[in-house]
Amino acid sequence: MTMFVAMGAFASEECDGMAADAIRTAIQAASEYLAQHSEEARSTDSAATATLIDGLVVRVTGPSGATITTDMVPSVGGTATAPSPGWILRAAEASCVVTLIAMRVAMLGIPLDTLEVTVDSESDDRGLLGIDDDVPAGPLSGRVSVRLTAAGVEPATLEEIAHWGVKHCPVCDALERPVPVTTEVSTA
């Protein structure tokens, strides 16, 4: 079982309050605009371009100079000099859930004391290695564990917020819903 933890903790209520106000204002403006201009809600997401650097080390580039590097463990030929793509996937899921929960509590005006999300999964490496085509290459199951505390807020409310965050997380949605993928190959 492999996991990733994304944490959000707030240094002070003042800092959290200022950030929450900015988040709430931005979400309200975006929601109002898209409600009036629904044709602009759909867009093409920014591309990530992966290039093999050496062995199984891969550099991924994106917009505004964003880069990440991945590698695999030595047991499959990597050098473990960077996180694996699977770990990056779990990291994306965990950080996305933290982000969506933070957005939700900002909209509700709830100051948080603790927000931590752990994502883990179970995989069967026979699928990744092509040993058995009946075994999926990706995770067989996943788990999102949310730790959320806020003084004076009922646990049921916090649980509802956590579930809202997972439900509205685009990364969770992409992992749970069949998303059509087109493969294009260029050999020139």
- The string of pLDDT tens digits covering residues 71-113 is 999 999 999 999 999 999 999 999 999 999 999 999 999 999 9
Domain extent at residue 135: 2-29+84-176
**pLDDT tens-digit readout, 102-161:** 999 999 999 999 999 999 999 999 999 999 999 999 999 999 999 999 999 999 999 999
Does 35 reside within a domain? no
What are residue 136's phi and psi, to 5 degrees? -60, 145
Domain count, the chain: 1
Enter the pTM of the model.
0.88
Any domain includes 47: no
Question: Is position 103 within any domain?
Answer: yes
The pLDDT score that the predictor gives to residue 56 is 98
Other C-beta atoms closer than 10 Å to the C-beta of 151 total 9
Q: Which residues of 14-33 are buried (b: 16+ CB within 10 A; e: fewer)?
A: eebeeebeebbeeeeeeeee
Q: How far apart are CA 151 and CA 23, in angstroms?
A: 20
Specify the CATH number for the domain of residue 135: 3.30.300.20
* 182 domain residue, yes or no: no
Query: Residue 105: exposed, middle, or buried by beta-carbon count in 10 A (0-12, 13-18, 19+)?
Result: buried
- Inside any domain, residue 17: yes
